[in-house]
Chains A and B, each alone.
Chain A
Amino acid sequence: MAAAAAAGQVDADTFRRLYPDDYLRKFVEQGLRPDGRPLAAARPTSIGLGAVSTTDASALVKVGSTTALAGVKCEVVPALPEAPDAGRLVVQVEMAPLCSATTRPGRPSEGAQVLTEQLSALLGSVVDARQLCIDAGKVAWAVYVDIYVLDADGSLHDACLLAALAALSSLRLRAVSIDESGRVQTGAAAAAAQQQQQGERPAGQQERRLALSCQPVSLTCGLYRGRLLADPTAEEEPLLEAQATATLDESGAVLGFAAGGTAAVGQIVVVQCLEAAKMRGKEVRAMLQQALEQAGLAADADAS
């Protein structure tokens, strides 16, 4: 470390920029983080449903300053011959150039593609594609989940997954009707057409919710000098020795465990990550339930 720094000739902000590792170490040794959190605490989280009026469902999620916006758009498409009784769920994560200094416009970055792949696999197991079938072998729903990272301040997987989950939880598939000539109508027109057709062959479907098999919530933890930091920020992420993202559902089952870093981790760290993710899941699911109730979209409200 430079003599100037030791002599206290630089202010805290300069020190933070010049010696990011020393800066973080001094905090972590005191059991704190630069933003004032304890080591095991995640940042304050908010879920805003229906942020984009032109989509079928949307959610804006903030975890600290990490911001993810998920929009869901549904389209009626011809059923694929290889899967006549199933629809499609297409997940795409995009990192806009404004989300961080290192993100460039143009081709999707590696980070965005890795997130796309992780979330597609995860959400594919949460949404049973067979419920997206409208008329077997003819038409089905294609549900496009687009997730935009607006501010990439670390732990993107957690924010993106929560945004996608919140949007899908609030999604209502519009009513669909198919008339004799095979013309497909959706929304209010479909509901009206179904009224007229009553007594005839029932074609199409009522407005309905999308059933999710579980509510996966993830937590990213980082290993820094033998200590576990929950929900690391973009400032902390490059300094971590290893990072692990555990995704668990409400029953405590593990839906994904992605770890990587420049140092190997022991079994204790794996167990601690899973435990922390389980606790965080409970917290986040309560938050999501509250947001859905406020928007009048909770599953219980629907049943009554």
Chain B
Amino acid sequence: MAQFVARRLLLLLPVMLGILLVTFVLLRLIPGDPCKSMLGERATEEKCNAFRERFGLNDSIPVQFARYVTRILQGDLGVSIKNGRPVTDVLAERLPMTMELAFLATVFASTFGIALGVISAVRHNTAVDVGAMIFANIGVSMPVFWLGLMLAYIFALALKGTPFQLPPSGRLTAGTDLPSLLSVWGMEDAQGLQRFVVLMLSNSVLLNALIQGKFAVFADALRHLILPAVAVGTISLAIIARMTRGAMLDALTQDYVRVARAKGLIERAVILKHTLRNALIPIVTIIGLQIGSLLSGAVLTETVFSLPGIGTQVVDAIIARDYPVVQAFTVLIAIIFVVVNLIVDISYAYLNPRIRIS
């Protein structure tokens, strides 16, 4: 098993390097001078030279690339050209929000997607099945940003005054006080990894509120995330439901299901323990693959709900040609993909002992 994991990790190295190279080259192909776009059109040649010297933009491209890779390996992601802050700080500020959103969306999509798929398969060719599949087909065809806007309209305006009213934008209700954990724990001077971890915890509003025991703030933050999570998760929900239904229908025709029924197991055990368990491999794959669509969905959804996550940050950074920030987020997205793929592979081994042995 360890050998299997190690080999997978090794195979991913060239792809990671390729990802770094592609973003690095792509960003340097952008027409326009980063100096001019940062310091303004009227920046003098002198100032621009100092600027380029400071950010190493005068060196040859291969030298810049080599230096960049070395620094990443050392955990240094550089400094934002736009506002001079360390990129790790920007990451620690923006990442938790998107992770919370992606996590909630995944939970929403998987729970309801698998449930819907199982029900459709068990009630194959009934009205329930047809209805669920019509919903699934419509679900995969909706633009995320449109769904977000429609949800905002329904839950913030149409249902105003009812218990179902939900906030359409922002992270917390205005005026809600949630101090940073850095100040709560008196760690303003912390550096390096320690600072990064504490900042991440602190900026995850849900975790921060829990740590400080402010449950009202936690509930408020959760309410603000419900609509975005539903918007981001719906497409994945529909895809997971379709995949679950297909895998369940395949598994239901297998001999071991007939055996399970023949030995008199109750239907619930037949479905959950014998059929679903065996149908899980393609379902887990598809959930893993959804991370990509979740990240794309997050970019659009964060724009709709004015949420300060990596989605809005990436778009801002690309427009401002803030190379270090864009590169850092690209590396980050690549790492997320790598890790998710690895988890999917390892979960195969867990779900199917035959893979573990071979």
- Say whether A associates with B: no
Binding site for A on B (CB under 8 A): none
Binding site for B on A (CB under 8 A): none
